[in-house]
Structure 1
Amino acid sequence: MHCRAYFLLEKDFQELKEKNYEGIITFPVSENMMEWEAEIKGLQNTIWHGLCFQLTIHFTSNYNFVPPVVNFRTIPFHPNVDQQTGRPYIDFLDNPEEWNTDYTLSSILLTLQVILSDPVLKNPVNLKAVQMLMEDESMYRLIILKLLHQLLQVKGDSQLLKDTDKFTRSIKAVSFHDYYKTWSGIATSKATEYYRSPLLEVQNFTGEYYHK
């Protein structure tokens, strides 16, 4: 007999398939729906455009009373991502008290996509990344590409770069300016209240931007 979390995740999965968010792909890899894999692609007009990052998402039977555990498998050189573990630091993932049962799998993935392209520079977890970004954005971009290329080579996934580029050219482009107007202010767990967005506390907030 399936638990409550199973049916909630089925509903989340159906929402994702119906909305078909640009640059986001996810699917369960376990029969009980507790283990997921995802790919997030950087937004247009940002230094992350054209890059693809793989993630794992682990849910428990207590979902959606508690947040899942999220880790980047393809770890970005990013102010708000732990370079060793691949863990993204986002308020409602890092602190269960910040979690809201209105949040869904869509909420998590869209927030990660925004944080990727619009890092919170106050109280970062990767000090080297934030220093490089603030001093020389062009060099930061080169470092991102170099580290990503090295990581894919180590994993034997060099073909992924070609596949990612092909996929990125085929999807509908979303400008960062338009995206930011809707999702600005979403913060990491290390940021102050000033950066937290009230949009995340609105049920079905994803519909504000991604309407078909």
Structure 2
Amino acid sequence: MCSRACFLLRREFQELKENNYVGIIAFPVSEDMMEWEADIEGLQNTIWHGIYFQLAINFTSEYNLVPPVVTFKTIPFHPNVDQYTGRPCIDFLDNFHHWNSSYTLSSILLTLQAMLSNPVLNNPVNLEAARILIEDESTYRLIVEKLFREPLQLKVDSYELLKDSDKCIRSTPQGTLSLKPPKQSYVSLFQLSCLLPSPKKYLSLSSPNACAK
């Protein structure tokens, strides 16, 4: 028998398919609908556009009274994503007191998509990403390009998604297809030094703070 959470998620899955949001993919990977995978692409006219990031979303039987656990499996070099765990720093996901039962799977994914392009810099969890972005945005853009775009960019004349509407949804324009990079757990200072034009400037970066609740 389908639980209340299962029923809600089936309804939200249908809503997600009907709206067909650009740059968002989501599908359940368990029969009880509690485990999901998703891909989100950065918004247009941002450095993240054309790059997809894979996520794992785990619900419980208490959904939608409590938020799911969301984790980036492909971890972006981003001020608001923990570089070790892949957890995004979003108040209503981190603290159930900020959660509202009106939030849905769609609103969660849309929030994550917006977060990529609109980082909050006053309380970052990835201090390396935040400091480089604040001090030298062009260098930050270079790092993102080197890490996520250049090795993966593939020019295609057309792109057709495999038709399986019960399992996967995607809105991707024809043109550049950016494949998902492998899971990345942490961008080390050594790796950054290989990407930065002036590496010594950034080698004193400290450990990340805990996400503000």
Q: Output the TM-score relative to the length of structure 1.
A: 0.72
The residue aligned with 1:190 is: 212
Deviations 1:185-209 (A, max 9, x none): xxxx638xxxxxxxxxxxxxxxxxx
Alignment size in residue pairs: 166
Q: Residue 31 in 1 paired to residue 31 in 2?
A: yes
In the TM superposition, what whole-angstrom CA distance separates every residue of 1:51-104 from its partner, at most 9, and x where no partner exists?
110000000011000000000011000000000110001010000000000000
Q: CA RMSD in A?
A: 2.3
Max radius of gyration: which structure? 2
**Structure 1 counterpart of 2:174, from 170, 178, 187:** 170
> Which structure: greater helix fraction?
1
| CA-CA distance at 1:134 after TM superposition | 1.2
8 A contact 2:35–2:58 mirrored in 1: yes
1:179 aligns with none
Deviation of the 1:147 alpha carbon: 2.7
Distance 1:11 1:165, change over 3 A: farther
Measure, in 2, the Cα distance between the counterparts of 1:133 and 1:27. 33
* Greater than 2 Å deviation, 4+ residue runs: 145-150, 161-171
Q: CA 1:58 to 1:164, structure 2 compared with 1: closer, same or farther past 3 Å?
A: farther
Give identity over the alignment, percent: 66
2:85 aligned residue: 85
Unmatched segments (≥5 aa) in structure 1? 172-188, 192-212
Unaligned runs of 5+ in 2: 160-171, 176-210
Distance (whole Å) between structure 1 residues aligned to residue 15 and residue 111 of structure 2: 16
TM value normalised by structure 2? 0.72
CA distance in 1, matches of 2:156, 2:27: 17
* Aligned AA (2:56): T
Look up the equivalent residue of 2:13 and give its one-letter code.
Answer: F
User: Partners of 2:132 and 2:12 in 1: how far apart?
Assistant: 37
| Residue of structure 2 equivalent to 1:203 | none
Which residue of structure 2 lines up, in the alignment, with residue 114 of structure 1? 114
* Contact map agreement 2:35 2:56 (CA 8 A) in 1: yes
